Amino acid sequence: MTVALGIDTGGTYTDAVLVDQTSGKVLSAAKALTTYHDLSIGIGEAVAAAFEGHAVPPAEVNLVGLSTTLATNAIVEGRGSPVCLLLAGYDPALIRQYGFERDLVTQDVVYLRGGHDGAGNEVEPLDEPAAREAILARRDQVEAFAVSGYFGVRNPAHELRLRALVEELTVSANGGQPLPVTCGHELTTRLNAVRRATTTALNARLIPLLRELIATVRRTLDALGIAAPLMVVKGDGSLVRAEWAVQRPIETILSGPAASVVGAWYLAGRRDVWMVDVGGTTTDIVALRDGRPRLNAEGAQVGRWRTMVEAVDAHTIGLGGDSLVSLDGDGRPAIGPRRVVPLCLLADQFPQVVDELERQVGVRRWAGLAAQFVLAQPRTAHGLSESDQALLQVLGAGPQSLMGLAERLRYGSLVLRQLESLEARRLVLRAGFTPTDALHALGRFERWNAEASRIGAELLASQLDLAPETFCERVVADVSSRVTTALVSKLLSDEVAAPGGASAPGNTGVPDWEREPAAAAFLARALGQVPASDLDCRLALRQPVIAIGAPVEAYMPRVAEQLSTELIIPPHADVANAVGAVAGSVVLKLQATIRPLDGDQRFRLHLPDSVLDFGAVEEGVAYARRVVPDQLRALARQAGAGQVELQVSREDRTVAVRAEWGQPIYLGTLLTFTAVGRPGPCASA
Amino acid sequence: MSDILQQIASNLYSGADKAVAGLVQQALDQGLTPAEVLSGGLIAGMDEVGKDFKAGVLYVPEVLIAARAMHAGMGILRPLLAAGDVPTAGKCIIGTVEGDLHDIGKNLVRMMMEGAGFEMVDLGTDVKAGAFVAAVREHKPTIVGMSALLTTTMVRMKTIVEALEEAGLRHSVKIMVGGAPLTAAFAREIGADGYAPDAASAVDVARGFAG
C-alpha cells in the first residue's frame, strides 16, 4: 500500500488525512485547531490524531503534502524578514513621481545603473562597483535579497549577475551559506517592472519564514517516524518539493483554496463545477473547468499587493462557521468578517463559561456585550505597556466575559479598546456567538457544548424580541444567502467587464450591490427575501456546486436551491482541502519567445536564462526545442516530480495589414514547455 | 447673437481663416464669452467638417484648410481662455513612431481632436518609445495616440505599448493607433485600446475614452 499524508492549515482548523494512493480512498481524517504562533503544533496534533487507531504505520507513508496559509497570512499582516531590493535600470524619479515606492514592499531599495530595453538590448552596463558596495553594506542587516532588472524578463543578464554577486559576497559572512536571492525573471515572464519588483520583494521577505515552517514540520514528521518527501501546494493547485517552495514561497499564496478545489475534484470526480469551501474564517469560491481550477491571469491579489503569481481565481469572503454574529445598529444580525471562537467550543474547553452566560440572561447594562468572551493566547510578546501586561494577567487565568470586565473595571469602554489592539496582535482571542453555535442550538450539528450555544442564542435573540430558534434559523439562512450572493457576484465579475476594464488596478470587478439598486432588487427576489413581491425571479446555475468544508450540509442545500442546481457534497467533504494537498501533480512551465529584430533579417530568441540571435525563425525554434526540454525536466525533478511528461505548444503571432499593403506582419512565436509529473521519491534538490 | 456663431462655423467650414479671426473678435466685442465662441462657433464648425470628411464629402486638403481657420480663431481666443474656462475633452499626446517621418495623418488627427476640444501635445515624428514614456510622465495625458504609415514601422507601436507596460504606466492611459496600413486586428494584437481608420473616427474613439 502506498499512503499519502495530506495536511492543510486553514484559518481555524488544521486538517490531516491519510489517503491510499492506489485505491484513492481516504483511510482516516483528523482535525486540530490551527496554532497561529507556531503552525507546526497544530500540524503535529492533527497528524498524530490521523494515525490514532489506524493500522497505517508511519513508515508506510511515501508522500506528505502540505497546504499552508503562512505566505498569504504573512503578506496580509505585513510580516516578513528584512530584505534589500536591488533594482537595475529602474528610474527612481518615475518611481517617486507615481508614488510607486509603496509598492516596493521594503524601504531598503537600491537603484543601480543598468537595465535593458524591450528587445533585450543592454541600455546601460550594470554598475557592479555600486552593487558590491550596497551588498557589502547590507549583508549583516538583511536576511534575503530581491533582484529585479528593467526589462529583466527580456534579458535576465543583469539579474543573474546580481544574484552571483550577492552569493559571492554573502557566503563567507553567513557561515558558508549565501543569503537567499530572488530574481524577478524566475517568478514571471510578464512586463511591468514595478509589479515584478513587488512580487520579487514579497518573495524574498517570505523565504526565512517558510524555511522555518518547513524545518519545524520536518522535525514533527521525523518525530512521528515519517521519512517521506514533503511537498507544498502552490496557488495553482500543483505540488512542489518543500525545498523548492522555500525558494519561491510567494507561489504558495492561495494554496488553501487551491488545495480545496483540487481536493473537491479528486473526491467528487467532476470536471466542470463551482466549488464552494465554507471554512471557519472564510468562504472560498472557485470555478473548476475541465478538471482544472481557473487561474487568475492578471496575477493574484493578496492584501493590498497585486502580485504576478498565477494562482487560482478564488473569490474569498469573510464569512465562515466561526464568524462573529453581532447585531447591527438596526437590530439585524450581521455575520463576520471577524472570526471568533464559537461559544460551544469555548465552553467545551472551559465549562464555567456556561454559568457566566446564564448569569447574563436578563441583565440590561452592557447588553451589547452579552455572550462575548476574551482569553489570552499562550505566547510572549515584547514592548507591552504595563496596563497591557496587567490585563493579560487577568485573562491568563481563563476566559473572561466582556460584560464582566466592563462591569468590574472602572473604565469599561477603554478596556474594550485596549482589547481590540491586543486582539490585532493576536495576544488575545475573542469568543462569541457564531453560525456554528446557531447549528448547535438548533441541534443540527453536535460536536461541542450545545448548552452554551443555546444560552448565547437566547441572549442575542432577546435583544431583537425573537424566539431563539427563529434567530438561529435567520442566521443560518443569512449564511446561505451570503454564499449565493458571493457566487453570483463572482460569476458576474468574470462575465461582465467592469468599467475601466477588469485589469485596471484595484478593480476586482465584483459588483457592488448597494450601488446597483435594481440589480439588488432582482437578486433579493431570486433569493426569496421579498415574499410579498408580484415578481418571482429564479436563478439557474448551469454547473453543479460542489460544497466542501464543515458543516456544509447545514448551509449548502439552500444555496443549491436558490441557484436551481445540483449540489454535490463528496464523502470527506470536511477535509477535502487536506486531500487536495496530496492529489495534485508537479506542474512546471517554461516559455521561450522569438521576436523579429529591426529590419526583419534577424530574430531574437528569449530563453528563460539567456538571449540568442538567429537568422531564421525556425532556427530559433529548433534551438529552443533542443535545449529547453532537458532544462525543464531537470527542474521538474528538482521540484519533486517522478516520471515527467513533457508537452510543447507553439503559438505564432502574425497579423494582417490592410489589403493593398502587402504580406501579414510577423510579430513573434511563443513556445510553452509544460512538464507534468506525479510526485516521485527519487528526486533530490 | 447666435447668428455670428453660425457665421464663424460656416466660415471655418469653408476655410476662410481671416474671416474667422475677424468674426471671433467681433463676437467677443458683442459680449460673448470666449468659451461660448469656442464651443458654439469653432468646435461646432469643426464638427461639421468631421462629419462631412467621414462621409466623403470633404477631402484631406479641405480639412487642413478648415483646421488652419480653426487655428486663426484659436489664436485670438487662447489668451482669453483662463485655465478651467474651457471644458476640455481630455488631454492627449500624439506622435508618429520611431523610423517614420509621415506627419500629414498625424497632424490631421491632432487638428480634428483640437477642434473637438482635446488638449493636444504633439511629439512630432520619429518618436522613440522612451520619448513616449517621458511624455506620459510629463503631461499625464488620458490618451496616447500613435501613427505609423509603413508596414516596417507599425511594429514599433508594440514596442511603445510594452515600454509603457514595463514602466508601470500602461493603466494610466488609453492607447489609440492609426495609419494607412493598420487594421483593428493589429491594434488588438499589440494591446492598444482603440483603432481609428481615419481622422474623424479618431475623434469618436477618443470621445469614447474620455466619456
Domain extent listing, chain B: 2-80, 90-210
Among A233-242, A455-464, A624-633, A657-666, which is the least confidently predicted range? A657-666
CB proximity B154 to A under 8 Å: yes
> Is there a contact between B151 and A653 if contact means CB atoms under 8 Å apart?
no
Chain B residue with Cα closest to A653:
B189
Q: At what angle do helices A128-138 and A157-170 cross, to 10 degrees?
A: 40
**Gyration radius (Cα) of chain A, Å:** 27
| CATH number for region B90-210 | 3.40.50.280
The beta-carbon neighbor of B155 closest among A661, A662, A665 is A665
B contacts of A91 (beta carbons < 8 Å):
167
Compare all CA atoms of chain B with the CA of A94 and give the residue at the minimum distance. B137
Distance from CA of B138 to the nearest CA of A (A): 10
C-alpha cell at A41: 503544533
- All residues of chain A having their beta carbon less than 8 Å from the beta carbon of residue B131 are none
pLDDT value of residue A387: 84
- The answer to whether residue A101 neighbours chain B at the CB level (below 8 Å) is no
The burial of A61, by beta-carbon neighbours within 10 Å (0-12 exposed, 13-18 middle, 19 or more buried), is given as: buried
Place A685 in a pLDDT band, splitting at 50, 70 and 90. very low
Look up residue A239 and give its three cell numbers: 505540488
Nearest CB neighbour to B165, from listed A98, A192, A665: A192
ipTM computed for the complex:
0.81
CA distance to partner chain B, nearest, from residue A659 (Å): 8
Cell numbers placing A189: 515572464
Give the pLDDT score at A632. 96
Contact yes or no for A118 and B151 at CB 8 A: no
Beta strands in A10-131 (DSSP E): 13-20, 26-33, 61-68, 83-88, 109-112
- Which chain A residues contact residue B183 at CB under 8 A? 655-658
Q: Between the CA of residue B105 and those of A351, B64, B202, what are the distances in Å?
A: 83, 10, 11
Which residue of chain B is at minimal alpha-carbon distance from A153?
B166
- A128-165, pLDDT tens digit by residue? 999 999 999 998 899 999 999 999 999 999 999 999 99
pLDDT computed for residue A508 by the predictor:
56
Could you say which of A192, A194, A653 has the minimum Cβ distance to residue B189? Answer: A653
Residue contacts between A and B (CB atoms, under 8 Å)? 68
The confidence score (pLDDT) of residue A174 equals: 73
CB nearest to B151's CB, from A98, A504, A657 = A657
User: Which residue, chain included where needed, has cell 461660448?
Assistant: B36
Say yes or no: B165 contacts chain A, CB-CB below 8 A: yes
Q: How far is B26 from chain A (nearest CA, A)?
A: 44
Give the domain ranges of chain A.
1-32+41-56, 77-211, 323-471, 585-677
Verify whether the Cβ–Cβ distance B185 to A504 is below 8 Å. Answer: no
pLDDT at B85: 59
Topology of domain A77-211, per CATH?
A: Rossmann fold (3.40.50)
Cis previous bond, A551, omega within 30: yes
When pLDDT is cut at 50, 70 and 90, the band that residue B194 belongs to is: very high
Q: Is B53 on the interface with A (CB under 8 A)?
A: no
| Cβ–Cβ below 8 Å for B165 and A94 | no
> A178, A190, A175, A99: which is closest to A145 by C-alpha?
A178
Partners of A656 on chain B (C-beta within 8 Å) are 183, 185-186
B90-127: pLDDT as tens digits: 899 999 999 999 888 898 898 888 878 888 999 999 99
Give the model confidence (pLDDT) of A457-507 as tens digits: 999 999 889 999 999 999 999 999 999 999 999 998 888 754 444 444 444
Question: Cα(A8)–Cα(A6) distance, rounded to whole angstroms?
Answer: 7
**How close does chain A come to B183, measured CA to CA in Å?**
6
Which of A94, A121, A666 to mutate to probe the B interface, most B CBs <10 Å?
A94
Mean pLDDT of chain A: 90
- Cell 516521485 locates to A680
Mark yes or no for CB contact B137/A94 under 8 Å. yes
pLDDT in tens, A253-271: 999 899 999 999 999 888 8
**Would you call A600 and B159 a contact, using CB atoms and an 8 Å cutoff?**
no
Least CB–CB distance from B155: residue in A150, A505, A667: A667
- pLDDT score recorded for residue A366: 83
Establish if A308 touches chain B: CB-CB under 8 angstroms.
Answer: no
Specify burial of residue A575 (Cβ count, 10 A radius: 0-12, 13-18, 19+): buried
B contacts of A119 (beta carbons < 8 Å):
159
Looking at the complex, does the CB of residue A22 fall below 8 Å from at least one CB of chain B?
Answer: no
**Which pTM value belongs to this model?**
0.84
pLDDT above 80 for A329 = no
Q: Which fold, B2-80?
A: 1.10.1240
